[in-house]
Amino acid sequence: MITLQFGTVRKRKNSTYVPTSELTYTVQAVLKDGCSDNNPVFLLKNESNVFSYNYVKWDGWYYFIDDVVRERNQFVVVSCSLDPLATYKTEILQTSAFVLYDTTANTEIPDTRLSTKTTHGIHFSTAVFNYIGNYSDPADCPVVLSIVGQDGLSYWAVTPTVASTLLHNINLDEVPDLFPRLVDAETIEEWLGAIADYIREYFMAMLSSGKAAECITSAVQLPISTGGIYGNSGSIYLGNLPTGKTGTEISRRICYDTMTMSLHWSFSDWRRRAPYTEMYLYCPYFGLVSLPVENLIGETSITIECSLDVATGNALFIVFGTNTQYHIGTYSANLGGAYSIGGVVTTPFTQATSMVGATVAGAAIIATGGSAAAMASKLGASAIAGIIGGNTPSLNTVSGGGGGAALGLRKQSYLIEVTHDTNVTPSSVSAAIGTPTMEVKTLSSLTGYCQTKCASVSISGDDSARTQVNNMLDTGIFIE
């Protein structure tokens, strides 16, 4: 004699929920020979009430009622199928398995089951350097002159107005003054001697270091405010010839500038990674470059340091994470614009354009997190392009905007976040399909949806029940 407990139960077939209070109707029965434990059939008499129920328990075995059929002489045939997740719940929860998905909050592993939206989101952060590009009008950008003066070669920063009139005033004003109209002399001999002294003095001044115009050996105009130039005000000499003009004699050839730009993160979970999030940096001086977004996770801002050689216009920009000091990239450009004056008819800084290719190549390495150089020798360039393209829709980058072009560019730099969100918010579906886990866990530590890989549960049932349990775990169950 066995005891059957019937009831109406609301549960999913792939749930470990074990009914208790719902099984309220009890029937005594005899289990006949040849009855299957997995798919038993019970023959009951005068038990029409069982038509109201969908679930039955017997001696720790739980079953779904598949069908109830009336037979003659008031017999009722109840066909059942095993509920393996309820029957073997204890063994299932004691199992350790490789879990693909569960409902534990996931912030790191992308869920590739979710598609991305075709529309993108964009967020800008802007900043400007303190000195570089901080000028009111391109026409006011200082001109840096390399001049051979009384004490040898030195560098002078002057306004464009001073630079344009430097030789003009010498030619028109200084030469006529070589012949003074008033000389303190009492005799012809003294007057002629004084004139000879003036001629000797000024011609020696003009010619002692060569022609005055040739004492200007280079000239470059920079997109920089005068506040970034270190030096002292003084009178400008071409050789030993006074020009009557003043400027700033540069005491420190290198100008340093820095800028911090805040990072905007639209997501706090795994959508911070590529291809859901991309980061691009635009600086008017070295162009637009893509940044390795996954190496920026955890940063709240980036810092750009610039070292500018004011004598040549050559500039080096270093980008790093403000919090961790992680080095992101190094970019070079020439910010100097050609300025013709005196014997200097063309800019001597032709390396500006040759730097562009090197900068673009550097940007490609940066886009891979610095790994492209090491990988290229093993995989080849085409393989690298395939890997990068598979991970993120990389924007084309253009670098090296210098050689005078920087004089007319916008002053602001931009840190651009481009996002492609998933079609649904991951948290809105985690209860139904979980989130990626990809680690071994004991199933008793989980609740809700769970899907395993190659589960192997040790149960007391036969092989068909074991196979059924393992298959259900690998296709997804609800631990309840």
Element (H, E) at 475: helix 463-475
Q: What is the pLDDT of residue 192?
A: 65
Q: What is the pLDDT of residue 23?
A: 94
Banded model confidence at residue 173, pLDDT cuts 50, 70, 90:
very low
Q: Which of 472, 467, 420 is nearest to 116 (CA)?
A: 420
Contact 374, 380 (CB under 8 A): no
Whether the per-residue pLDDT at 377 is higher than 70: the answer is no
Q: What is the pLDDT of residue 9?
A: 96
Q: What is the pLDDT of residue 232?
A: 92
What's the average model confidence in pLDDT over 337-366? Answer: 48
The pLDDT > 70 percentage for the chain reads 77
Whether the per-residue pLDDT at 208 is higher than 60: the answer is no
Whether the per-residue pLDDT at 98 is higher than 90: the answer is yes
Q: What contacts 137, CB < 8 A, 6 or more positions away? A: none
Whether the per-residue pLDDT at 205 is higher than 80: the answer is no
Contact 323, 299 (CB under 8 A): yes
Q: What is the pLDDT of residue 434?
A: 95
Banded model confidence at residue 356, pLDDT cuts 50, 70, 90:
very low
460-475 confidence digits (pLDDT tens): 888 999 999 999 999 9
- Measured between alpha carbons, how far is 106 from 299 in angstroms, rounded to an integer? 19
Determine which of 23-32, 185-194, 396-405, 437-446 has the lowest per-residue pLDDT on average: 396-405
Banded model confidence at residue 48, pLDDT cuts 50, 70, 90:
confident
Banded model confidence at residue 71, pLDDT cuts 50, 70, 90:
confident
What's the average model confidence in pLDDT over 301-322? Answer: 93
Determine which of 203-207, 328-332, 370-374 has the lowest per-residue pLDDT on average: 370-374
Whether the per-residue pLDDT at 372 is higher than 50: the answer is no
Whether the per-residue pLDDT at 6 is higher than 80: the answer is yes
Q: Please give the mean pLDDT across all residues of the chain.
A: 81
- Measured between alpha carbons, how far is 103 from 428 in angstroms, rounded to an integer? 11
Whether the per-residue pLDDT at 268 is higher than 50: the answer is yes
Q: What is the pLDDT of residue 276?
A: 92
Whether the per-residue pLDDT at 244 is higher than 50: the answer is yes
Contact 459, 469 (CB under 8 A): yes
Determine which of 5-14, 44-53, 295-304 has the lowest per-residue pLDDT on average: 44-53
What's the average model confidence in pLDDT over 128-152? Answer: 84
Q: Give the start-to-end residue ranges of the domains of the chain.
A: 2-87, 91-111+426-479, 121-134+255-419, 138-253
Residue bearing tokens 């296709």: 475
- On the 0-12 / 13-18 / 19+ scale of CB atoms within 10 A, 444 is middle
Q: What is the pLDDT of residue 384?
A: 32
- On the 0-12 / 13-18 / 19+ scale of CB atoms within 10 A, 149 is buried
Residues in the chain: 480
Determine which of 97-101, 119-123, 287-291 has the lowest per-residue pLDDT on average: 287-291
Whether the per-residue pLDDT at 61 is higher than 50: the answer is yes
Cα dihedral 19, 25, 31, 37, rounded to 10, equals: -20
Banded model confidence at residue 66, pLDDT cuts 50, 70, 90:
very high
What's the average model confidence in pLDDT over 130-152? Answer: 83
Strands (DSSP E) along 36-151, which ranges? 41-45, 55-58, 61-70, 75-82, 96-102, 121-127, 143-149
- Measured between alpha carbons, how far is 10 from 103 in angstroms, rounded to an integer? 22
Whether the per-residue pLDDT at 402 is higher than 70: the answer is no
Of residues 45 and 475, more confidently modeled: 475
Q: Which of 67, 64, 106 is nearest to 84 (CA)?
A: 64
What's the average model confidence in pLDDT over 185-194? Answer: 67
Banded model confidence at residue 137, pLDDT cuts 50, 70, 90:
confident
What's the average model confidence in pLDDT over 118-133? Answer: 91
Q: What is the pLDDT of residue 343?
A: 64
